[in-house]
Structures are given as structure tokens and as C-alpha cells.
Amino acid sequence: MSDLLPVRVFVVEDDPKLLANVLKVLALYPELEVVGSARDGEAALNLLTESKPEVLLLDLELPGIDGIGVTKAAKIKLPSVEVLILTSFDEEQKVYEAMQAGASGYLVKRVGPEKIRSAIQEVMQGGTVIEAGIAKRFWAYFQSVQSQTAAVIVPWGLTEPEVEVLQYMAKGLSNAEMGRVMSIERRTVRTLLSHLYRKMGVSSHVDAVVKALQAGVVRL
């Protein structure tokens, strides 16, 4: 028996039947604890500070403040909370907007209970979750958007691959995930990281991302 405390989850869904279904799914897993729920963004934000969830399971289409707005506000109110989008939208632009707002994962409502559980665990471990059915389209869209802003002057003498690694690092991808997305070997990712650490004068992912954000090289 594990001594680990269950992950504290807060659910935001405006459809009462869907909300009941999600709560029923989460109740299947003793490693997850629902600490609150709401049917609109404003109510959710009012309850966050008190309930202190670790994961916010959030629909995008909400009355009043939409899911993107809730994500941005939640990350300000509770910076440590991981936002996992669970919605009917499967458009790559919506995924991009959610990730830019601070979400760590994006699932569509057709996924099964086990996928929701594993996604919660993944974001709690610092990973990024995007459902396989839309991941390829999202990364193509992401690269397209990034190429449009490539004219930004990059400090520290970073090369284009090093900046790309920084972008993915800011999104929470692991070395292995960056290798798959960039179609390069993991050891090449490690080499790129070593070079950009040296150029930026940092020693960790966190320090690199913070400096890059401050310089406007990457955006969340």
C-alpha cells in the first residue's frame, strides 16, 4: 500500500450530466481526490484558493469566463496548479491557445477513464499531454506559428535548434519527447542542452526557461 497522498483534483464543466460522469470516473481511482467542482469559470476561480487543487480538469467552453481565461487566471492565483483541458474541441489552434495560457495537457471528451487518470499522473510528473489524435496537427501548427515570429533577435548566440529546444522545454517536454518531436536522437538533445546552458550561463531547465521568458525568446 502506497503512503503517497492522493492527487487533489478540481473539475470545471458546465454540463451537469458530463460533470457527474467525470466525477464518477475520478471516483474509480483511490489515487485521485476530487476537492471541488464548478459549472462556470468565475465560480471555479473563487473556489481555487480554498480548495488548493494540484490539478484543474477544465472544459474550454464555459459560460462567462471561458477555459482559456480560467487557465490564465488560475495560474496567477495558484501558480503550482497543473491545468488539464478536457473538452470537445479537437482543433490545433485551441490546443495552442490553451498551452500558451499555461495548460499542461489537452484531452478531448471521447477519451476513456484510464486515459484521464494517466494524463493527470503525467502532468503531475512535469510532463505535457496532448491526445495522439491531434498531437501531430498541433505540432505542425505550433511550428508554423513559431516560424512567423522567427524574426525576433535571439540573445546569447543561440542557434535555431537550441532555440527550438528551449521552446519545447518551456512546454514541459522531456528530452525523449523533444527528440521525437524534432526527429533527432536523445543524445543530440543533451548536446543542444549542454551548449545552450553554457551560452546562457545556467545549469537547469528551469533557469534556462526563466531567462528565455524574460528575454522574450519563448512564450508560455
Domain boundaries, the chain: 7-133, 152-215
For residue 1, the model assigns a pLDDT of 34
**CB distance 192 to 181 below 8 Å:** no
- The answer, yes or no, to whether residue 217 has pLDDT greater than 80, is yes
Say if domain 7-133 classifies as CATH 3.40.50.2300.
yes
Q: Could you read off the pLDDT of 147-192 as tens digits, one per residue?
A: 655 555 678 988 888 888 998 888 888 888 888 888 888 888 999 9
| Within this chain, domains 7-133 and 152-215 share the same CATH topology | no
Share of the chain above pLDDT 70, in %: 90
| Helices (H) then strands (E): counts for the chain | 10, 6
44-56: average pLDDT: 94
* Cα-Cα end-to-end distance for the chain: 38
Q: Could you read off the pLDDT of 63-93 as tens digits, one per residue?
A: 888 999 999 899 888 889 999 999 887 777 7
Second CATH level (architecture) for the domain 152-215: Orthogonal Bundle (1.10)
123-131: average pLDDT: 85
- Which uninterrupted H or E stretch holds 34? strand 32-38
Torsion of CA 84, 136, 144, 75, to 10 degrees: 10
